[in-house]
Structure 1
């Protein structure tokens, strides 16, 4: 009887439920990092032609799964680093108002709120840096954010380098493992659902209990179809 009770306590129904969300092209119908770069170019912080050329080049590498994230983060944060914290904060406030808030569509909000109403722990797990994504997570009402952390200098401002393991590709699994460990959990202690659009996130999709291909790129759509994973075309819904 004791063994039966212990087994019952380990039942998936009794485990804390996690709803993990990729951000770009999953909860947002755009890439926030790429869009931030375009936005700062319109402010005159960079040469728009050269910056947008390189930004598009890095984005193509990301979609192909060949991105050197350390090179990209140095490139993507250079202009904002040089402008300083005050100018960066003001620019990001405009970015939120003009670009991000209009892009947070009803279907995405409804998905988040459905998990919140069910009592699930909500976590955004993104390969975009925390400077760009923390205000976006706040706008979605999601306190737990796993993003690319940035090294800060003695003044507290970013240096352009990545601090610790970047939350990209297999790094998302490592960062989630650390997040779980900090709460005294392992993967077997929770029931996790992960929403992602990209085959770049395959490692975490394979690690969770419930992978959901969300607005998937062609490679992920094909794999999800082959494996029988749910496919959610969030932004084709009528209320989007």
Structure 2
């Protein structure tokens, strides 16, 4: 973000929100897909069948055709079967072996720059909260809008989605609900949103300052057409 732009925002007196997609935006990987690969590696799923279905769902996501309810049921199946203690222990291992090594300086610097400027930081992701809450914590970002999961009478997840999933247009709905809880509307704040995917077009079009970040080919073309900033955080990293 340029200095004059930052100064102009300061003069408005509006709170500044820095919104971040997570997968392929702050991380050079898809945390949901990577979690699935990890659970297969530790023996929780049948390798061939899980890989086939996981890759199939990931391709649907990239194409914008994913049924998120079907995907979340599939993606949380092993976690539901293993129970909370085993799942949380596995996630700690996942953080150490997969996620923390993928938290690269360029992305961390971007987050810290907004934090140092006094911006309110929010992750807005289509990945479920079980996978992403520890990642947000590791990034030092308290505010997480993720796919929330229904919990049964035993307190553990059921595989169903609670409320509106934070995917595609749902990201706008969930952000509006978040703003309302803080007594704000879109007009009360200045918003910047970083995303890699055309799946996030609805929120990119809604914010004040969209930034195509490590964009896929379709978003890169659109950003060039519309004059949106393009930020390649991982240009020198082999994901």
Give the TM-score category using the shorter length: over 0.9
Match of 1:84 in 2: 83
- Change beyond 3 A, Cα 1:215–1:182: same
User: What is the TM-score of this pair, normalised by structure 2?
Assistant: 0.94
Match of 2:24 in 1: 25
Rounded Cα–Cα distance in structure 2 between residues aligned with 1:11 and 1:106: 27
Q: Deviations over 1:61-105 (max 9, x none)?
A: 000000000000000000110000000000000000000000000
Match of 1:218 in 2: 217
Match of 2:6 in 1: none
Match of 1:227 in 2: 226
Match of 1:179 in 2: 178
Rounded Cα–Cα distance in structure 2 between residues aligned with 1:237 and 1:30: 14
The question of whether the paired residues in 2 share the 8 Å contact of 1:12 and 1:190 is answered with: no
Rounded Cα–Cα distance in structure 2 between residues aligned with 1:84 and 1:37: 16
Q: Which residues of structure 1 form unaligned runs of 5+?
A: 1-9
Q: Which residues of structure 2 form unaligned runs of 5+?
A: 1-8
> Cα distance, 1:120 vs. partner?
0.1
Match of 1:105 in 2: 104
> Cα distance, 1:11 vs. partner?
8.7
Rounded Cα–Cα distance in structure 2 between residues aligned with 1:26 and 1:219: 15
Match of 1:3 in 2: none
Match of 1:169 in 2: 168
> Cα distance, 1:13 vs. partner?
2.2
Rounded Cα–Cα distance in structure 2 between residues aligned with 1:178 and 1:31: 26
Rounded Cα–Cα distance in structure 2 between residues aligned with 1:91 and 1:213: 33
User: What is the TM-score of this pair, normalised by structure 1?
Assistant: 0.94
> Cα distance, 1:146 vs. partner?
0.1
Rounded Cα–Cα distance in structure 2 between residues aligned with 1:68 and 1:121: 31
Rounded Cα–Cα distance in structure 2 between residues aligned with 1:162 and 1:135: 19
Q: Which structure has the larger Rg over C-alpha atoms?
A: 1
SS in 2 for 1:236: coil
Rounded Cα–Cα distance in structure 2 between residues aligned with 1:35 and 1:86: 20
Rounded Cα–Cα distance in structure 1 between residues aligned with 2:185 and 2:201: 19
> Cα distance, 1:236 vs. partner?
1.4
SS in 2 for 1:235: coil
Rounded Cα–Cα distance in structure 2 between residues aligned with 1:231 and 1:12: 25
